[in-house]
Amino acid sequence: MKLAVYQFAPRFGEKKENLERVRGAVSGLECDLLVLPELTLTGYQFTSREELAGLAEPVPDGWTCAALSEMAAGLGCHIICGLAEDAGERYFNSAVLVGPGGLVGTYRKAHLFCEEKSWFTPGDSGFNVFDAGDVRVGMIICFDWLFPEAARILTLRGAQVIAHPANLVLPWCQKIALARAWENRVFFVTVNRTGAEQRGTLGRLEFTGQSQVVTPDGEILFRLGEDEEALKVVEFDPADANDKMATEYNDVLGDRRTELYGPLVE
């Protein structure tokens, strides 16, 4: 498959401008799956629930989902994109998978980071796997990387590729993603943003870029720079994620000792 990622610095609140940036970058792109960052069109640092309400949209009946579906139809591919979801009384930090025919699946971020807890509701979608063409894809969002259970559940459900839209500010994820990919024997695709935001009285956030694709063997197919704005396309065989053998003797799923893991969910 050909997988594309677009790393850039969205401008807070400028959804149309940010969409035009993405549109311009992906014009003529040939790929099977395009992955975009967390909160791609809105920007990240909300300062109130009212502000979030003004920028969030319903899924799939909002402007952003329609624009993404049109883009997917035009490019003949699937797209994963982070967005602010308006679900009536609740707002979720979500990611959608859209194809040429429209919405395929939604993931609502389970593990909220810092001030996100003030505006968003913790996700209730669980960790589900969807077909993006011939590829089985699961989604997590940014801080979910810290919780290995999320990637493990997606793996148990058959994900070959874990798509990870992000707005990372801590320096750890790009390193630890190698472990997530290796321990689950999946492709782990982190798509981060660049730039900085400082809004209202909140602290300045500097996003760490370094979007990357890691193979089931824990090898980095590419890693973008910290400040680089780039569209990157990479080709790999998702079926490489079907082999769960870490050694000749060790199956990373089959060798689990679930009878000893009860405390994990206490």
Site residues (vs ligand ACM, CB under 6 A):
38, 113, 142-143, 167-169
Burial label for 209, CB within 10 Å (0-12, 13-18, 19+), is: buried
Positive or negative, the CA dihedral 104, 136, 191, 53 is positive
What is the gyration radius of the CA atoms in the chain, in angstroms? 18
The nearest distance, CB 163 to ligand ACM, in angstroms, is 15
Question: Between β-strands 102-108 and 129-132, what pairing exists: parallel, antiparallel or unpaired?
Answer: unpaired
* 168 vs 177, beta carbon nearer ligand ACM: 168
Output the smallest distance, CB 116 to ligand ACM, in A. 7
Shortest reach from residue 44's CB to ligand ACM, in Å? 7
In angstroms, give the least distance from the CB of 225 to ligand ACM.
Answer: 19
Catalytic residue, from 31, 38, 173, 232: name it: 38
Q: Which is nearer to ligand ACM, 38 or 86 (CB)?
A: 38
The one-letter amino acid code at 76 reads G
Options 109, 116, 173, 197, the catalytic residue: 109
CA pseudo-torsion sign 56, 123, 75, 14: positive
38 carries an active-site annotation: yes
Nearer to ligand ACM, 113 or 119 (CB): 113
What is the four-CA torsion angle of 42, 161, 66, 27, rounded to 10 degrees? 80
- Beta carbons within 8 Å of 41's beta carbon, 6+ residues apart: 10, 15, 18, 19, 22, 64, 81, 83
Q: Which of 142, 173, 197, 232 is catalytic?
A: 142
206 given a catalytic annotation: no
Question: Which residue lies nearer to ligand ACM by CB, 110 or 224?
Answer: 110
Q: Which residues are catalytic?
A: 38, 109, 142
